[in-house]
Amino acid sequence: MKYTSEISERNAAIACAEKMAAAARTAPKACGVDLIETLVLDAEDKDRLTAAMRELGTSEKRSFYLRDAGNVDACHCIVLIGTQVNPAD
């Protein structure tokens, strides 16, 4: 099987994104409580994210979303890292 540079670069980006998500998940947590959520988006899911970012960017105060949507468009995939809401005492 032949892999073009485009396919190889996409595969490498996805592999790196998966490792980033695993690293976030396995990193030491405060008091050993794991509230981390990770998500890797590509293709149509990434396109839906950038569409939502562009919609948010229509406000003058949020125009940075337009710039960031362009940056996400230029990537093969994106890693999202967040946390569950669970205040400590």
Domain count, the chain: 1
Residue 30 lies in a domain: yes
Q: Is 13 exposed, middle or buried (0-12, 13-18, 19+ CB in 10 A)?
A: middle
Note down the domain range covering 14.
5-83
Q: Apex CA 22: angle with CA 20 and CA 28, to 5°?
A: 105
Per-residue pLDDT in tens (0 to 9) along the chain, 89 residues? 999 999 999 999 999 999 999 999 888 877 778 889 999 999 999 999 999 999 999 988 999 999 999 999 999 999 999 988 776 66
In a domain, 21, yes or no: yes
On whether residue 15 sits in a domain, the answer given is: yes
Task: Round to whole Å and give the CA distance between 65 and 14.
Answer: 23
Domain assignment present for 88: no
